[in-house]
Structure formats: structure tokens, C-alpha cells
Amino acid sequence: MLKDFKEFIIRGNALDLAVAVIIGAAFGKIITSLVNDVLMPPIGLLLGKVDFSNLFLNLSGAPYSALSSAKAAGAPTINYGLFLNALVDFIIIALALFLVIRVANRLHRPEPAPAPITKECPYCFSTVAVKATRCPSCTSELKAA
């Protein structure tokens, strides 16, 4: 079992997957920073100086001026501003992955199908070489390929 595991690790698929997960996590952090620190502040400014990370619904009934004070008090909240930030994160990551996969699919050209080496006799339906002029089974004359 240990030998099989070692072969699996060395084969390369596991290493490729590990690298992809690490790069994906780093990419996710970059996108989160882009959304929270670069994109959402100007959008919030355009919408009347709204801080999306501070938008919440207070379910406790007690007044709280900020999400951090509501969380510190242990009040139940619906953090729809954080959800909007996460939604923008997801859309940007999904768009980036879509573009990468689209480019990869364009670069991957399908291999041409190999030329057939046999054909079927139209009279007896036996398999005949493409270059044959007579069928070896029924001796019918065949058209040249």
C-alpha cells in the first residue's frame, strides 16, 4: 500500500493538483483584496458613500452603528454587505477561469483522424484493403480509392 501511494505521488498528477490548489488559494486572496480594497470602495462612493463590508441587518432589536460592534456584542446579524463582496469575488474568479479555459481550449487542437486502411466490399461486405482492386472473398472488381 505504501508503494502504491509513493507511485501515486511521484506520478505527477498529485503534484500538479497540489500546485493548482496553492496557486488557486493565492489567486483567491488576490481577488478578495481586489474586490474589498479596490473595486468596492469606488462603487460604494458612487452609491452614496456606502461601505459594503458594514452593511447588515440587525436581528436582535438593539441598535448597533457598525457590524463590528454588533458582532462584539454577539448580536445575530445578516451580513448582506459581506455577501455582496463574496459574490463579486466569485464572479471575478469565475470570469478569470472562463477566460483561461477558453484560451486553453483554443490552443488544444484535435488531432486529425488517421486515414482508413480498409474499406468494405460493396458486394459481399467483407473487409478489404483500401488499395485493393479486387475483393479477395468474392473476386469482384472494386473501384480505386
Q: List 120's β-bridge partners, or say none.
A: 127
Q: What is the pLDDT of residues 15-54, one digit of tens each?
A: 777 888 888 888 888 888 888 888 888 888 888 887 788 8
Residues 62 and 133 in one domain: no
Question: Cα 88 vs. chain centroid, distance in angstroms?
Answer: 17
Residues 15 and 56 in one domain: yes
Contacts of 126 by beta carbon, 8 Å cutoff, 6+ apart? 120, 135, 136, 137, 138
Residues 72 and 12 in one domain: yes
Residues 117 and 80 in one domain: no
Residues 49 and 94 in one domain: yes
127 or 111, which is more confident: 127
* Structural domain harbouring 93: 2-107
Residue 12: pLDDT band (50, 70, 90) is low
Q: What is the pLDDT of residues 67-94, one digit of tens each?
A: 888 889 989 999 988 898 888 888 888 8
| Per-residue pLDDT at 120 | 92
Residues 86 and 145 in one domain: no
Please state, in angstroms and rounded to a whole number, the distance separating the CA atoms of residues 92 and 103. 17
Alpha helices in the chain (DSSP H): 2-11, 13-33, 40-46, 67-73, 80-107
Please state, in angstroms and rounded to a whole number, the distance separating the CA atoms of residues 41 and 45. 6
Report which of 35, 39, 38, 52 is spatially closest to residue 90, judged by C-alpha positions.
Answer: 35
| Per-residue pLDDT at 106 | 84
Please state, in angstroms and rounded to a whole number, the distance separating the CA atoms of residues 5 and 11. 10
| Per-residue pLDDT at 10 | 72
Residues 21 and 48 in one domain: yes
Residues 102 and 118 in one domain: no
Secondary structure element (H or E) that encloses residue 129, with its range: strand 127-129
- 24: domain CATH number? 1.10.1200.120
Structural domain count, the chain? 2
Residues 18 and 82 in one domain: yes
Single-letter amino acid code for the residue at 130: V
Residues 8 and 79 in one domain: yes
Residues 63 and 100 in one domain: yes
Residues 97 and 37 in one domain: yes
